[in-house]
Chain A
């Protein structure tokens, strides 16, 4: 796991949004590839072609509404996949289906070859899928550290007897959980570990959510509009963070509206419209695809 590239510049902490970008030279020495020129798609080393998450002909109905209509795509290990589409396209529904919140009406979703449907949600997390939320859902009164520790607890075996009697396992897991949580908080760039989550700045809260999700040791990290409300500097910072996460071996799935971010960080993109997949491919391909352009911008009147 790459180290946080900079040391805190001053003891009192203000807005940490561009903290991670403060020392680009440090980053270069750690071996992270430099930022691409604006808007260009990044030539990445080819991710492995092992399928990690397979969305197999999934249809999802809510009463009479067809939210997803025979959606079909595969997410490969080590890649950063973007899921885009105009509002109401079914991105969040697809997202929720992929993280086990919804069960498909027909079709199947497989993670590491195993069916997701019918599993308890916390078990899905333990299988290795973690997520963040579109409208931040932290535990507001718990500190940043405690929030992340809840994530770290996902794989802990301490239960009531060990905790009651303070058995060795309790001490062990508590210590390792705390250490890991601090590391993760530093990794994402949240420095006020002991501040209540609701007191953190917006940017810190978004990054805290990512840290919490990472604490569950996921194989797949699903980010739901992680850059919503960010200014361009913050978005660049986030872009780098996502790459750093992928470099630690975590596959990333991303829903985002900001095209620059999507084009800049993803390896492949899946485009949804009205619950159907209308395009799939590299950012360059998708950008040129007439169906995608029509979905976002509409068809010219005379081309009907």
Chain B
């Protein structure tokens, strides 16, 4: 076992140093090829081109759900993971209500762009529904503002208290949304949300029912985000976040305005969450109070930790796995003829992978924290921090 791990580590290091040695042009070229590969993913023809199909079954291609939809879901989830990664991974704060910002973004888009929204039908605050693209910046700004408003009183708290308070806040918002007919319309929700703009050459709108354009849109947004977040991490802001994580008091005494930067982290995470929500709302066309479910916050957390907190690649990997793996399992199950519901004593039980997803990732959270707290794709610094703590324990510090 250790043989295999040693070989794997050696391989990773070899690949890593090979990559580092390449001239910049080659790196960019390879990245470009990879990006094109990503854009080609939803096309069934692409897999056939690669010669992957085994008869009816195409490995890696999900069949129980539409592949493009699955990829889009991965996409907005990866965005969420990227946002939460800034809060948890970089600044080291546990936000259990993160999904609330997603809801803020989604609901903003809904109330501003849907002709069924009460803003137009009942209260007449605005003349007519806005286009999606116009409501988008407002959605992101409101989420950012929500992040500041929530973070401002709460960020001075200790880790565990912060976690509970964010949890409480998110629940309160959900209760308000559910019980309130004012704008949110409770469980009945808001339908007919506008889609992103754009027309095909033949006049039909690009963003309609087919999930592919949405996937490409979210992929573009992800690439832009990765670029921006990387800029942030490799600047004094990123340095400040690491310093805060490693020794907050010392950081403050060295002139780091810890509170301000933590608030920034919180706000940025919130903004990205809202962006993700806005994109999702544009695709799905309908939101209601069940958009706010707590389980989703936990799932995003699991994604970030599983992938590797504090690491952009880790967040992407985690976000991808959390959505893709259950779907992929369902497709595999279909090939082998596994049922999605079983009858036990006359009662139908839904045992599809997507329903058991939360149970599974709850277990994953525990297992990852015990055996590999730095995640699958660790940030080198984080991994070193955790290794040191383990060693301290063994020496009996």
Contact = CB atoms under 8 A, between A and B. Distances in A.
- On whether A and B touch (CB less than 8 Å), the answer reads yes
Interface of A: 99, 101, 120-122, 125-126, 130-131, 133, 137-142, 146, 149-151, 153-156, 158-160, 163-166, 170, 173-174, 177, 196, 198, 212-213, 216
Contact of B247 (A101, A139, A149): A139
Given A149-B239, A151-B255, A166-B231, 6 more contacts: A121-B253, A122-B253, A125-B252, A142-B381, A153-B240, A174-B236
A174 B235 contact: yes
Nearest to B233: A163
Contacts of A155: 255
A216 B236 contact: no
A133 B236 contact: no
Interface residues of B, number: 30
A160 B268 contact: yes
A156 to B, nearest CB: 6
Contacts of B384: 141, 196
Contacts of A164: 228, 231-232
B48 interface: no
Contacts of A174: 235-236
Contact of A216 (B240, B255, B385): B255
A151 B239 CA distance: 10
Contacts of A149: 236, 239
A140 B246 contact: yes
Contacts of A133: 250
B253 A125 contact: yes
Given A139-B242, A149-B239, A160-B264, A121 B252 contact: yes
Contact of B255 (A101, A140, A153, A170): A153
B6 to A, nearest CB: 22
Given A159-B237, A164-B232, A122 B246 contact: no
A10 B392 CA distance: 34
B255 A141 contact: no
A216 B52 CA distance: 59
A175 to B, nearest CB: 12
B269 to A, nearest CB: 12
Interface in B82-133: none
Contact of B388 (A131, A140, A163): A140
Interface in B214-237: 228, 231-232, 235-237
B388 A213 contact: no
B362 interface: no
A146 B252 CA distance: 16
B316 interface: no
Interface string B249-262: 11111111111000
A208 B238 CA distance: 21
Given A139-B243, A141-B381, A141-B384, A163 B235 contact: yes
Nearest to B383: A141
Contacts of A130: 254
Most buried by A among B228, B247, B251, B252: B252
